[in-house]
Amino acid sequence: MLEFIQNNIFLTLIIINYVIAIGTAIFIILNNRNPITTVSYILALVVLPFLGLLIYYFFGQEYRKDKMFKRKKVFDNETVKKWEKKLMLNDYRLENYQADFLNNKVNVVKLLQNNQKKPLIFGNDVKILINGEKKFESLFKDLEEAKNHIHVEYYMFNDDKIGSKFIEALIKRAKDGIDVRVNYDYVASGITNKTIKRMKEAGIEIFPFMPVWFPNLTRKLNYRNHRKIVVIDGIIGYVGGVNVSDEYVNPNDNGYWRDTHSRLKGNVVKSIQSHFLLNWNFVSEQEIEITDDFFPKVEE
């Protein structure tokens, strides 16, 4: 057998290629994808030995579906379900709110609540933060007062001047015993391996969103995470348009950047927390233990 393989290397490789291709084709068919897409990839596997497998590897994997499965696991968690149930409004309360201020919008609220599990949430405080200067001033103060955990998720996370200040604040809190988790977009961010190593050594858990090793050859490039959120102790949340980058802090080398962020406090932060957790499970490939610390009781 060994002598046959040595004398027929190309034939052996062709056989191996089609064995793998057959298995891949079966997987594609069972995956119940779009018929045109299915036929296209199967044809590539059959007609293009070796190249067909590479095409499927770089372009054919369903990253969105993988993410959806991770999302389902998070929202199936009993702790998340418990808080969702607490936030849901019954028909009696909805009718009362309709009389007060919802008017004819109550049906939209019911639709979102029943179909998407997105209830109308009360007991919140919202502060609008104009531009990066105000956002980071407020954020650094809240980071210093964190007592349990800090969850960070950004599209653009650079270790420039403002980024380094942010990273130092996270490192300090991690060394204080606060659980710090960071998720950054691999394509948009500019954070060095040296900085990542320092953060890990301080006890920070940090993962990139969908690393792209071959930017010109992979569909992952199209699946980026544009969120800009921070969750502190499950009580305070930051969402908006300001990334962690010097260009968002005025004055900057490129002129003036006008953007808006918001500081949220109350039950709405539970929704932000849920979305962080679903992405965290996806990027870390871990099953994070979801506890009541992530969803503390909010005084309304």
Q: Global pTM?
A: 0.74
Confidence of residue 197 (pLDDT cuts 50, 70, 90): very high
Confidence of residue 217 (pLDDT cuts 50, 70, 90): low
Q: Which has the higher per-residue pLDDT, 6 or 11?
A: 11
Enumerate domains of the chain plus CATH numbers: 2-60 (no CATH), 65-88+123-294 (3.30.870.10)
Confidence of residue 49 (pLDDT cuts 50, 70, 90): confident
> What is the average pLDDT across 242-268?
92
* pLDDT higher than 80, residue 192: yes
Instruction: Share the mean pLDDT of the chain.
Output: 82
**In percent, how much of the chain has pLDDT > 70?**
75
> What is the average pLDDT across 163-178?
98
**The pLDDT value given to residue 225:** 86
**The pLDDT value given to residue 60:** 62
* pLDDT higher than 60, residue 92: no
> What is the average pLDDT across 276-300?
84
Coil, helix or strand at residue 45: helix
**The pLDDT value given to residue 80:** 66
At 126-150, the pLDDT tens digits run 999 999 999 999 999 999 999 999 9
**The pLDDT value given to residue 278:** 81
Cα 84-86-123 angle, rounded to 5 deg: 100
H or E element in which residue 161 lies: helix 161-175
Sequence-ordered list of residues with C-beta below 8 angstroms from that of 261, at least 6 positions apart, any chain? 128, 129, 132, 134, 135, 228, 238, 239, 240, 241, 242
**The pLDDT value given to residue 134:** 96
At 58-68, the pLDDT tens digits run 666 655 555 55
Confidence of residue 84 (pLDDT cuts 50, 70, 90): low
* pLDDT higher than 70, residue 111: yes
- DSSP of 235-300: TEEEEES--BSGGGSSSBTTB----EEEEEEETHHHHHHHHHHHHHHHHH-S-----GGGS-----
